[in-house]
Amino acid sequence: MLIQEIIRRKRDGQTLDRQMLDLVMRGIADDTVGDAQIGAFAMAVYLNGMHEAEATALTEAIRDSGQVLSWDDLDLAGPVLDKHSTGGVGDLVSLVLGPWIAACGGHVPMISGRGLGHTGGTLDKLESIPGYDITPSEATFRRLVQEVGVAIIGQTGALAPADKRLYGVRDVTATVESLPLIVASILGKKLACGLGSLVMDVKVGSGAFMPTPEASRELAEAIVATGCAAGTRTSVLLTDMNQPLARCAGNALEVAAALEVLRGDDRHSRLYRVTQALASEMLIQSGLARDAQDAERRLAQTLDNGAALERFGRMVHGLGGPADFTQRAAHYLPTAPVVHEVAAPRDGVVHAIDTRALGLAVVELGGGRRNAGDAIDPRVGLSHIAELGQTLSAGEPLLRVHAADREAAEALSARLSDAFHLEAGAADIPPLVHATLRQEDLP
Give the integer Cα–Cα distance in Å for 24 and 19. 9
Residue 185 is among the residues annotated as catalytic for this protein: yes
The pLDDT tens digits for 172-223 are 898 888 999 999 999 999 999 999 999 999 999 888 878 789 999 999 999 9
Residue 204 belongs to some domain of the structure: yes
Number of domains the chain is built from: 3
**pLDDT of the residue at 368:** 82
Q: Is 203 a catalytic site residue?
A: no
Separation CA 96–CA 259 (nearest Å): 8
State mean pLDDT over 18-35. Answer: 96
443 — pLDDT class (breaks 50, 70, 90):
confident
Specify whether 119 is located in the same domain as 204. Answer: yes
Look up the CATH number of the domain holding residue 54: 1.20.970.10
Would 434 be classed as within a structural domain?
A: no
Using DSSP, state whether 347 is helix, strand or coil.
coil
Provide mean pLDDT across the span 332-340. 97
Looking at residue 119, what is its pLDDT? 66
Residues 28 and 144 in one domain: no
Q: Are 358 and 400 in contact (CB under 8 A)?
A: no
170 catalytic? Reply is: yes
Q: For residues 23 and 169, state if they share a domain.
A: no
Please report the pLDDT score of residue 441 as a whole number: 86
Residue 300 near residue 373 (C-beta atoms within 8 A): no
What is the reported pTM?
0.93
The pLDDT value recorded for residue 117 is 59
Residues 6 or more apart from 300 whose CB is under 8 A from it?
Answer: none
Average pLDDT over residues 225-247: 96
Residues 355 and 393 placed together within one structural domain of the fold = yes
Q: What is the mean pLDDT of residues 97-121?
A: 86
Residue 380: inside a domain: yes
pLDDT at 116: 59
Three-state DSSP class for 58? Answer: helix
If phi > 0 it is left, if psi is from -120 to 50 it is alpha, else beta; for residue 340 that is beta
Is 428 inside a domain boundary? no
- pLDDT surpasses 70 at 115: no
- Known catalytic residue: 374? no
Same domain, 229 and 356: no
Q: How confident is the model at residue 375 (pLDDT cuts 50, 70, 90)?
A: confident
pLDDT of residue 222: 95
Residue 433 falls inside a structural domain: no
**Buried b vs exposed e over 315-325: b needs ≥16 C-beta within 10 Å?**
bbbbbebbeeb
Task: Tell me: pLDDT of 228 over 70.
Answer: yes
10 is catalytic: no
Region 87-101: mean pLDDT is 94
The one catalytic residue in 56, 59, 85, 234 is 85
Residue 431 burial (C-beta neighbours within 10 Å; 0-12, 13-18, 19+): exposed
12 with 152, same domain: the answer is no
**CATH code of the domain containing 187:** 3.40.1030.10
Say whether pLDDT at 302 is over 90.
Answer: yes
If asked whether residues 242 and 204 sit together in one domain, one would say yes
Mean per-residue pLDDT, 87-93: 90
Element of type H or E holding 407: helix 406-418
Q: Are residues 241 and 386 in the same domain?
A: no
Query: Does 440 map to a domain?
Result: no
Same domain, 306 and 362: no
Domain termination residue (choose one: 44, 63, 82): 63
Options 10, 63, 83, 107, the catalytic residue: 83
User: CA 188 to CA 161: how far, in whole Å?
Assistant: 10
- Inside any domain, residue 439: no
Question: Is 84 marked active-site?
Answer: yes
Average pLDDT over residues 326-343: 97
Give me the catalytic one of 122, 178, 232, 355.
122
pLDDT of residue 118: 67
Q: Are residues 376 and 316 in the same domain?
A: no
Last residue of one domain, picked from the residues 288, 306, 328: 328
Cβ–Cβ < 8 Å for 229, 56: yes
Side chain identity, residue 131: G
Question: Alpha carbon of 240 to those of 7, 130, 385, 424: distances in Å?
Answer: 38, 32, 16, 23
Q: Which residue among 10, 114, 165, 170 is the active-site one? A: 170
Catalytic member of 63, 125, 190, 247 = 190
Nearest 5°: phi and psi at 360?
-65, -30
CATH of the domain at 343: 3.90.1170.30
d(CA 352, CA 242): 8
Residue 374 pLDDT more than 80?
Answer: no
Active-site annotation holder among 56, 65, 185, 239:
185
Active site residue 164: no
Whether the CB-CB separation of 138 and 147 falls below 8 Å is answered with no
Counting beta carbons within 10 angstroms of the beta carbon of residue 212, is it exposed (0 to 12), middle (13 to 18) or buried (19 or more)? exposed
Of 280, 306, 328, the one marking the end of a domain is 328
Q: Determine which one of 10, 84, 118, 270 is catalytic.
A: 84
389 pLDDT exceeds 80? yes
| The one catalytic residue among 56, 59, 64, 82 | 82
* Same-domain pairing of 339 and 319: no
The 10s digit of each residue's pLDDT in 420-442 is 999 999 999 999 999 999 999 88
Catalytic residue among 10, 165, 189, 434: 189
Residue-range definition of the domain harbouring residue 398 = 335-423
139 in the same domain as 272: yes
Task: Measure the CA–CA gap between 125 and 109, rounded to whole angstroms.
Answer: 17
Assess if residue 436 is contained within a domain: no
Of 375 and 46, more confident? 46
